[in-house]
Structure 1
Amino acid sequence: MKIWKRNLIVCWFGTFVTLIGMSQIAPIMPLYIKQLGIHNTSQIEQIAGIAFGITFVVSAIFSPIWGYAADKFGRKPMLLRASLGMAIVVGSMGLAQNVYELIGLRILQGVITGYSTACTTLIATQTEKKHAGWALGVLSTAFVSGSLLGPLLGGYLDEFLGLKFTFFLTGGLMLVAFFTTLFFVKENFVPSEKKKVESTKEVWRQLPNSKIILTLFVSSFILQFAYYSIEPIITVYIGQLSRNLNHIALISGMAFSASGLASIIAAPRLGKLSDRIGPQKVVLGALILAGIIFIPQAFVKNPWQLMALRFGLGIATAGLSPSINTLLKKITPERLTGRIFGFNISAYYMGTFTGSVVGGQIASRLGIKYVFFITSALLFFNVVWVYKGVYEKLKNYSSADQADIAVDEEANGETAHRTA
């Protein structure tokens, strides 16, 4: 088996487990906070919101830092650091004695994350060019499915194992990810010649396609925003649609996770498609289709219709993440790849957090239907931006030409700098 394929398998498992570890706490957080001694409903809601969201905010801050470290010291050391750290921290949550310790561990969890950033960088830089879209598509299924299936799995684990054992089991799986990474991931890393730590502003000035990269960051943010805008309200919405009040939580989990299942099925295929026709075309088409599918979700009559549309949404958006990552790889100088993927992961995390918060606010002030309308409008706004900022600029390049854009422009930029 080729090294990049073996690394892809290990990274898929590790990313899937890591994202489950970050998101599985959502459905059990209020119950665990109550178990830790907080009984006032209002306080439980406030603390649960802080404890859930703080990890994603801190992760968004630290992802570019770990991305820089990956460029400087190698991707495998970052994978080992993140997987072992997450195993210890998540497992320790099951031993928390009060909510302050729990929140502190959630903050620490956000600090030490970076597994998915290092994995994306490793796969993007190691994979053969002709298979890059497919490989990143496969890896993206771990990211999306881990994020979406985590809450559902967390609820099921609580039923069978109890709250504390949910954390212990997740920590154990991350420890497995650590050992599989240690023994099976291979990397021949050549560190960058530049030793000086460059600021974000300096890095940004060196990028030959900074406007395109910024547009792709915004697209990553909006993708996660769209996924998670419905998370805080889906149980309420299912309650309005369902006549069977005994299984609302289960049906809600199924509806929310339907898009994750669809992404697992469709992402590798759309990744291959992006290798053939160009990732910018897949991004544009996926955004248009997703914007359309959000609208009828506001008019469904029962949970099964919602589930079908969420499944369709998962198929539509499955090509977004791998195609964005493929474009980032092609237009970013290799020595800056880790930093740029770190910023992109930050956009994902901020989209997750913002979508969860804003979706609930829109539903409470305007009504649940407006969450779908506003999210759809946001996606169509992104369509226009991607068309003008990415598609029109790259449409004259063939897929092979795009792979050399960053290299050629970086070389031209360095020549001009030396001439000056």
Structure 2
Amino acid sequence: MPGWKTNLTVLWFGQFLVMAGMTMIVPFLPLYLQELGVTEPHALATWSGIIFAGNFVTSFVFQPLWGGLADRYGRKVMLLRSGFGMAVVMTLMGFATGPWHLLLLRLVNGTISGFIPAGVALMSATAPRERMGFAMGTLQSGAVAGSILGPLFGGLLAEWIGYRYIFYITGGLLFLASMLAALLVKETFDSKAAAQKPKQSMSAAFKQLRGIPQLPSLYAVTFLIQFSLLSVLPLLPLFVQKLHGTGEMLAFYAGMVGSITGFSNMIASPLLGRLSDRIGPERILAICLIGAAIASVPQALVQNVWQLFAARFFLGIFLGGLLPTVNSLIRKYTPGGMESRSYSFNSSALSLGNMLGPVVGGFVSGYVTIQQLFLISAVLLFVNAVWVYKSLLSRLPRKGSSGSGEAPASP
């Protein structure tokens, strides 16, 4: 097996284990806070929101710093730093005695996080350019599979062994993912050549990358994707309750609606990645954004849970071509030696979308219905598609043109 395929296989399992471990705590976080002594309903909701967002706040700030260090010292080093560090922090969460302890550890976790963007950067540096779409799509499917099964396993384990032990299991999964990467992932990194390059501040690096017009466009696309999709996600259980009523199996149906897009996403990501290698990632990104916008509309029109299942599954097919294609395009347009910094800025944009989407969606839901939020999400995705056409597709060289449309190989 070629070295890049070995890396892809190991990193796929690493992404799966990391996402499964990180999302295992989602179903019972408010319940764990009750065990820590937070019982008043308003305080419980406030603490849950702050603690959940804390990870994204520090991740947004620190990702560019780790990206710069990865370009100087190697992506694998940053992968292991993040993996082993998060393993320790997640284990310590099981020893928390109050909400402040949990908040502090979530902030630390966001500060040292970066396993997934480091894995993406490492994969982009080792996979052949002509197979980049397939590699990114396959890598994405591992993360999605983990995010689907993590909450399911977390909910089951919470019933069987209690909340605290799940943090120890999560720490163990993160440690296992890091050990697999340490032993099996190979990276060819010229540390001497990297050390000879002049040091560059984050602001200087961003200024240089901003000079390549496609890259800021891609960061904006990532933010808008996450913002538009996550703005409705926290309200889905309430919408399921409205469609199904308060009878039996409500929690099961709510969980299935939340994860059904992940199943179709996991299936579609490698297939769309292969297609992007044939017809170009810019075209796949535009097609999937338009498809996701169209697929968001039926969610506003459904009359029962099964119709919502079908609409969410249809949406997931197009979601499978969004972030992997963005990652392929970032690699295409980023100058050699700056890949990790470029991916880290994109990771910050993703964290910002993850953070603001649910907050804004929850605020707006006080003035509009969730059906109208689905339509707003569709409009945002369509605007995103127009932005991609103007900033990426329209810049592609026409057939017969001698231009490559790519950034130079070095800064």
Secondary structure in structure 2 of the residue aligned to 1:335: coil
Cα-to-partner distance string for 1:296-316 (whole Å, 9 max, x where unaligned): 101111111111111111101
| Cα contact 1:278–1:399 (8 A) shared by 2 | no
Q: Distance in 2 between matches of 1:399 and 1:315?
A: 33
Cα-to-partner distance string for 1:338-361 (whole Å, 9 max, x where unaligned): 000011111112211222212222
Cα-to-partner distance string for 1:52-74 (whole Å, 9 max, x where unaligned): 01101211211111111111111
Q: Distance in 2 between matches of 1:393 and 1:122?
A: 27
**Structure 1 41/377 Cα, relative in aligned 2: closer, same or farther at 3 Å?**
same
Q: Distance in 2 between matches of 1:259 and 1:227?
A: 11
- Which one-letter code corresponds to 1:310 in the other structure? R
Q: So what's the TM-score if we normalise by structure 2?
A: 0.94
Match of 1:416 in 2: none
Q: Residue 335 of structure 1 is aligned with which of 334, 337, 347? A: 337
| Cα contact 1:204–1:210 (8 A) shared by 2 | no
1:144 maps to 2:149:
no
Where in structure 2 are there 5+ consecutive unaligned residues? Answer: none
Q: How does 1:321-332 map to 2 (within 5 A)?
A: 321-332=323-334
Q: How does 1:160-239 map to 2 (within 5 A)?
A: 160-191=160-191, 192-207=194-209, 210-239=212-241
Match of 1:389 in 2: 391
Q: Distance in 1 between matches of 2:271 and 2:128?
A: 17
- Which one-letter code corresponds to 2:113 in the other structure? T
- Which one-letter code corresponds to 1:97 in the other structure? T
User: 1:371: Cα distance to partner?
Assistant: 1.2
- Which one-letter code corresponds to 2:34 in the other structure? K
Q: Distance in 2 between matches of 1:180 and 1:103?
A: 29
Q: Distance in 1 between matches of 2:216 and 2:252?
A: 38
The aligned length equals: 409
Cα-to-partner distance string for 1:380-419 (whole Å, 9 max, x where unaligned): 11111111011100253799964x72126x57xxxxxxxx
**Structure 1 133/348 Cα, relative in aligned 2: closer, same or farther at 3 Å?**
same
User: 1:141: Cα distance to partner?
Assistant: 1.7
Q: Distance in 1 between matches of 2:14 and 2:229?
A: 22
User: 1:200: Cα distance to partner?
Assistant: 3.1
**Structure 1 400/163 Cα, relative in aligned 2: closer, same or farther at 3 Å?**
farther
Larger deviation, residues 194-203 vs 384-393:
194-203
Q: How does 1:17-28 map to 2 (within 5 A)?
A: 17-28=17-28
Q: Distance in 1 between matches of 2:54 and 2:377?
A: 23
- Which one-letter code corresponds to 1:204 in the other structure? F
**Structure 1 397/20 Cα, relative in aligned 2: closer, same or farther at 3 Å?**
farther
**Structure 1 109/399 Cα, relative in aligned 2: closer, same or farther at 3 Å?**
farther
Q: Distance in 1 between matches of 2:168 and 2:236?
A: 28
User: 1:170: Cα distance to partner?
Assistant: 1.1
1:29 maps to 2:29:
yes
**Structure 1 208/28 Cα, relative in aligned 2: closer, same or farther at 3 Å?**
closer
**Structure 1 398/151 Cα, relative in aligned 2: closer, same or farther at 3 Å?**
farther
Match of 1:54 in 2: 54
Cα-to-partner distance string for 1:295-337 (whole Å, 9 max, x where unaligned): 1101111111111111111101211111111111111112111
- Which one-letter code corresponds to 1:79 in the other structure? L
Q: Distance in 1 between matches of 2:158 and 2:399?
A: 52
| Cα contact 2:227–2:357 (8 A) shared by 1 | yes
Larger deviation, residues 285-294 vs 209-218:
209-218
| Cα contact 2:87–2:175 (8 A) shared by 1 | yes
Q: Distance in 2 between matches of 1:9 and 1:160?
A: 32
Match of 1:414 in 2: none
**Structure 1 398/98 Cα, relative in aligned 2: closer, same or farther at 3 Å?**
farther
User: 1:274: Cα distance to partner?
Assistant: 0.4
**Structure 1 20/223 Cα, relative in aligned 2: closer, same or farther at 3 Å?**
farther
Q: How does 1:53-202 map to 2 (within 5 A)?
A: 53-191=53-191, 192-202=194-204
- Which one-letter code corresponds to 1:249 in the other structure? A
**Structure 1 266/28 Cα, relative in aligned 2: closer, same or farther at 3 Å?**
same
| Cα contact 1:60–1:350 (8 A) shared by 2 | yes
Q: Distance in 2 between matches of 1:29 and 1:398?
A: 57
- Which one-letter code corresponds to 1:40 in the other structure? E
Q: Distance in 1 between matches of 2:156 and 2:265?
A: 21
**Structure 1 72/244 Cα, relative in aligned 2: closer, same or farther at 3 Å?**
same
Match of 2:282 in 1: 280
Q: Distance in 1 between matches of 2:101 and 2:359?
A: 23
Q: Distance in 2 between matches of 1:311 and 1:194?
A: 50
Q: So what's the TM-score if we normalise by structure 1?
A: 0.92
**Structure 1 398/156 Cα, relative in aligned 2: closer, same or farther at 3 Å?**
farther
% identity of equivalent residues:
39
- RMSD over aligned Cα atoms: 2.0
Match of 2:371 in 1: 369
User: 1:251: Cα distance to partner?
Assistant: 0.9
User: 1:146: Cα distance to partner?
Assistant: 3.4
Match of 1:358 in 2: 360
1:378 maps to 2:362:
no
Q: Distance in 2 between matches of 1:352 and 1:289?
A: 21
Where in structure 1 are there 5+ consecutive unaligned residues? Answer: 412-420
User: 1:145: Cα distance to partner?
Assistant: 3.7
**Structure 1 326/371 Cα, relative in aligned 2: closer, same or farther at 3 Å?**
same
Larger deviation, residues 63-72 vs 240-249:
240-249
- Which one-letter code corresponds to 1:187 in the other structure? E
